[in-house]
Amino acid sequence: MLLVGRGTPAGRLLGVQLGSPVAVLVLVLLGVGLGQSSYLILPLVLVLAGYAGTLVFTRLLGPGS
């Protein structure tokens, strides 16, 4: 997670891309382990927000910005 806060913009993007699946997996396992299906909403929202955030961040890294 150090990549998210430091380094080049491309390195930070890589850190977000590596951290999002790990966070989703942990939250899914937590929801299944506790037996609460309502806890599975948060990982679903995190997947969608992570995808949208990646698109926005990549757009900001592109040429002409």
Tokens (6 digits) for 12: 């930070």
Question: Which pLDDT does position 49 carry in this prediction?
Answer: 87
- Give the pLDDT mean for 6-10: 79
Phi, psi at residue 22, to the nearest 5°?
A: -65, -45
Question: Which pLDDT does position 64 carry in this prediction?
Answer: 62
The tens digit of pLDDT for each residue in 10-45 reads 888 888 888 888 889 999 999 999 988 888 899 999
Check whether 1 has a pLDDT greater than 60. no
Mark residue 63 as left, alpha or beta (left: phi above 0; alpha: psi -120 to 50; beta: remaining): beta
Question: Which pLDDT does position 29 carry in this prediction?
Answer: 94
pTM of the complete model: 0.71
Q: Where do the domains of the chain lie? A: 2-61
